[in-house]
Structure 1
Amino acid sequence: MDNIVVIGIGLIGGSMVKDLKKVHPETKIIGVDKNPEHINQALVSGLIDKKGTLESVKDADLVILSIPVDASVALLPEVLDLVSDHTLVIDVGSTKLDFCNKVEHHVNRRNYLACHPIAGTEFSGPQAAINGLFKDKTNIICEVEKTAFKLQERGLRVFSDLGMRIRYMNPESHDKHIAYVSHLSHISSFMLGKTVIDKERNERDIFDMAGSGFASTVRLAKSSPNMWTPIFKQNKTNVIETLDEYINNLNQFKILLEKDDFEAIFNEMKNTNRIKDILKGIA
């Protein structure tokens, strides 16, 4: 690949081009970002080779769309309006149905590969970009059959260069499943953090007692609200369904406590312990 245009130079897009540059050092990385500070940071650190504009996608071999999902869905048709026949456009959004529906009838739909690399940290911005973020992580690809075959192949080579595993899924199933394993996790983390912060206002020493368990559980609460609010908005129906089930489980646990039914509590936790085997090998 001669040119890669990354739109949105943050954790995901930045980490992608960081690894791809190692594999393909001759590739020119062009950065597009509405935040001038992000552009400057990316240039100084060598994350990108030059600043670009939306027009830069015309000459790109690969376009990585890595901005919040609401902005990304809105911009995707404009990007497809500009690309040449040989350009592959991918997004990295945590929702997929709105993306696929938005460009379903676009004349250049064949240039777009809908995907979701499931990787990340709680940090954001160009300085959060790291090597190896995607190694051995899963990438969900949706509606692969709607992408031109030669561009499918290019996408698979890119994901192989990043060290990713590939799974194929329809966008409806993706959004439903990801609501459980990702979106609900973030809501739980944000709300646990809120609960403790609200309590800390009256009990100043509460964080002195916080151990590693609390820190790991609220880690996701450090994530960017600018990124996650649009995700919850786009996947609202599925997120509400998962929240209903989660709240029901919390209420049932509370009822068991009120009834002093600690045998049932023990059995609930013991049955849930099998998640250790299900998640074995996942960092």
Structure 2
Amino acid sequence: MIVTVIGTGLIGGSMALDLKKRRLATTVLGVDKNSIHLAKALEVGIIDEAKSLEEAVPSSDLVILAIPVDHAPEVLTAVLDNIKPEATVIDVGSIKQNICSAVANHKNRSQFVACHPIAGTEFSGPDAAHYYLFDGKVNIICDADHSSASSLATAEKVFETLKMKIIKMDAAEHDRHIAYVSHLSHITSFTLGLTVLDIEKDEKSIFNMAGSGFASTVRLANSSANMWAPIFHENKENLVTAIDAYVGKLNALKQMIQQDELHKTHEHIASANEIKRILDGIELKGQEAALNN
């Protein structure tokens, strides 16, 4: 299978590495407007050849779109304009309704499968790409009924090869849920980082006093602004609702502390502890599924 990866950073690069290693991809062509990233991807073996979109797409069996969500609809349209009849296009962005709406009436819409592999790190670029990033993680396919059976089968084969669990849902439902479980986490991390930097001007004090709790909570603040600023704006309605809910909980805790309501504060924290039980249960189910595959 000839695969074109448009966007050779963490996600696109890691997919290319695994698909080559697991022999689903025989050749990987790379497309990237960042010439430095493209050269690096070629140098480290993420891609086999660097091409323009116009050169790569017509010869590809599979096109993976791994670029910022605000540019993805326009690029996807260009890809669908140039793709061969039996090929499949998937995108891997974390916002789905915008891109699905943009190509809803395209003549080749059925060759597109809207995907969101939930995997990543706080790092970006080809240097961040690595093997096995997706093992045991979840991939979401959205609006599957708008994709052809053959393109859907190709997409499922890709994510099965990456050893991911596949679930399906409506694009609007996806964007609403992801605002809470992913985008809000980044908002929290960015805001904590900015708050500490603003209050503690002496960086030495920060590093001397920061423990593992602070480090783990603020880790996501290192995430790419080029990727995350567009995500926030493209999912603004859902994210604003999530932020309002978060601020409400934060203000409630603030009031408990101000009014010395120790019992209420204890109950607030204990209620939040429930999230670990839920996450542990999800992780256990994922491990059992991996053992059964």
Q: Please indicate, yes or no, whether the TM-score normalized by the shorter chain is above 0.5.
A: yes
Tell me whether 1:212 sits opposite 2:212 in the alignment.
Answer: yes
Moved more, 265-274 or 97-106: 265-274
Q: Once the 2 structures are TM-superposed, how far is the Cα of residue 259 of structure 1 from its aligned partner?
A: 1.0
Q: Who is 2:19 aligned against?
A: 20
Where structure 1 has 5 or more consecutive residues not aligned to the other structure, the ranges are none
- Deviation by residue 1:55-90 (Cα, 9 ceiling, x = unmatched): 111110110000100111221111100001111100
The verdict on how the C-alpha distance between 1:25 and 1:243 changes in structure 2, with shifts beyond 3 A counting, is closer
Residue type of the alignment partner of 1:69: V
> For residues 64 and 124 of structure 1, what CA distance do their matches in structure 2 show?
17
Cross-structure match for 1:234: 234
Which amino acid counterpart does residue 240 of structure 1 have in structure 2?
V
Share of identical aligned residues, percent?
A: 50
Match of 2:136 in 1: 136
CA RMSD, aligned part only? 1.3
The two structures have a TM-score, normalised by structure 1, of 0.97
TM-superposed deviation, 1:207: 2.5
Deviation at 1:248, TM superposition (A): 0.5
* Residue in 2 that maps onto 1:224: 224
How far the C-alpha of 1:149 sits from its partner, in A, is 0.5
Aligned pairs for 1:195-274 within 5 A: 195-201=195-201, 204-274=204-274
One-letter amino acid of the structure 2 residue matched with residue 162 of structure 1: L
Give the direction of change, closer, same or farther, for the CA distance of 1:120–1:222 in structure 2 (3 Å limit): same
Please identify runs of 4+ aligned residues in structure 1 that moved more than 6 A.
none
- Aligned residue in 1 for 2:126: 126
Q: Residues 210 and 25 of structure 1: is their aligned pair in 2 closer, same or farther, counting only changes over 3 Å?
A: same
The correspondence of residues 151-230 of structure 1 with structure 2, limited to 5 A, is 151-201=151-201, 204-230=204-230
| Maintained 8 Å contact 2:19/2:25 | no
CA distance in 1, matches of 2:226, 2:42: 23
Partners of 1:150 and 1:7 lie apart in 2 by: 21
Q: How many Å apart are 1:204 and its aligned residue?
A: 4.6
Q: Decide whether the 8 Å contact of 1:23 with 1:161 is kept in 2.
A: yes
CA contact (8 A) 1:17 1:47 kept: yes
Asked whether the equivalents of residues 29 and 49 of structure 1 are also in contact (C-alpha less than 8 Å), the reply is yes
With normalisation by structure 2, the TM-score equals 0.94
Contact 1:200 1:207 in 2 (8 A): no
Structure 1 counterpart of 2:106: 106
In 1, distance between residues paired with 2:221 and 2:10? 16
Structure 2 contact 24–161 (Cα < 8 Å) conserved = no
SS at match of 1:116: strand
Aligned equivalent of 2:53:
54
Partner letter of residue 60 of structure 2?
A
Structure 2 residue ranges without an equivalent (≥5): 287-293
Is this contact kept in 1: 2:3–2:25, CA < 8 A? Answer: no
Task: Show the counterpart of 1:31.
Answer: 30
Q: How much does 1:203 deviate? A: 7.1
Matched positions, count: 282
SS in structure 1 at match of 2:29? strand
Using the alignment, how far apart are the partners of 1:99 and 1:157 within structure 2? 22
Maintained 8 Å contact 1:18/1:130? yes
Counterpart of 1:131, as a letter, is Y
Q: Aligned-pair distance for 1:202?
A: 5.3
